[in-house]
Structure 1
């Protein structure tokens, strides 16, 4: 069941794991996220997933949806337990490590604000968002 308190990206900040969302909640959060992302030049992505395969699917879906070039995975050894994936769009590098006890979902942070009015070069971190938010 979806959490009725999830109406904006800021509502996710208190969560350790991505919530179950209705289709209208998913659509609204996805639209808000894309609008916020348009203010930044590049991104870092953190993905908490049950396996390296699940984490990579989430990242590849995001890359495809946003029209980003594919980043490169440093070590392709599969991990079939909980993982944390860190992708840095500036370096094009993806690292995955085994990590027990994490929630599930992805976090994304914007860097190099396009507008001087936004202040610091690093923006907020949004999430955790569902792993399949950008899956078509």
Structure 2
């Protein structure tokens, strides 16, 4: 049985996934180029990370900050037990909030935000947790 390559050539192809699909190097490069262009036009971003652990989730956010030279956000809310995590990071407030959440997929969701209320924010992803490594 041959392994079929998932047809992902643009960010909107990820909309149908609950968890981030595996991407090859070409797909990752294409998506990163598209996302970089979109992020440069936004005023700020929010990031949702669905992760099996807090450490992996924070790592994913730090890699985004590093890649796009954003200021490091601060962890405000951290759960007091281990488990699957949902992190919500807001670049405008500089805050990260984390909570234990079961039943989620795995991946990174990035929403572009705008100061102009006429511009509609759009969420992209899920991208693999190691997408920005």
Work out whether the TM-score is over 0.5.
yes
In structure 2, C-alpha distance between the alignment counterparts of 1:77 and 1:105, rounded to whole Å: 19
What is the CA distance between 1:120 and its match in structure 2? 2.8
CA contact 2:47–2:108 (8 Å) conserved in 1: yes
The alpha-carbon distance between structure 1 residues 78 and 53, as it changes in their structure 2 partners (threshold 3 A), is farther
The answer to whether the Cα contact below 8 Å between 1:42 and 1:89 also exists between their aligned partners in 2 is: yes
Residue equivalent to 2:128: 130
Among candidates 109, 112, 116, match of residue 110 of structure 1: 112
Distance 2:89 2:81 in 1: 16
Q: Are the structure 2 counterparts of residues 101 and 38 from structure 1 closer, same or farther at C-alpha, using a change threshold of 3 Å?
A: same
Alignment deviations for residues 27-77 of structure 1 (CA, whole Å, 9 cap, x no partner):
111111111111101000000000110000000000000000000101345
Q: TM-score, normalised by structure 2?
A: 0.90
Counterpart residue number, 1:59: 61
Q: How many angstroms apart in 1 are the aligned matches of 2:4 and 2:101? A: 26
CA contact (8 A) 2:79 2:100 kept: no
Among 10, 15, 18, which residue is 2:12 paired with? 10
Tell me: CA distance 1:59–1:132, structure 2 relative to 1, closer, same or farther (3 Å): same
Which segments of 5 or more consecutive residues in structure 1 lack a partner in the other structure?
A: none
Stretches (4+) displaced over 6 A = none
C-alpha distance in 2 between matches for 1:19 and 1:121: 29
| Equivalences for residues 1-136 of structure 1 within 5 A | 3-76=5-78, 79-112=81-114, 120-135=118-133
Q: TM-score, normalised by structure 1?
A: 0.88
Alignment RMSD (CA, Å): 1.8
- Distance 1:2-1:75 versus aligned 2 partners, 3 A rule: farther
Secondary structure at the aligned position of 1:43 is classed as: strand
CA distance in 1, matches of 2:77, 2:125: 26
Aligned length: 131
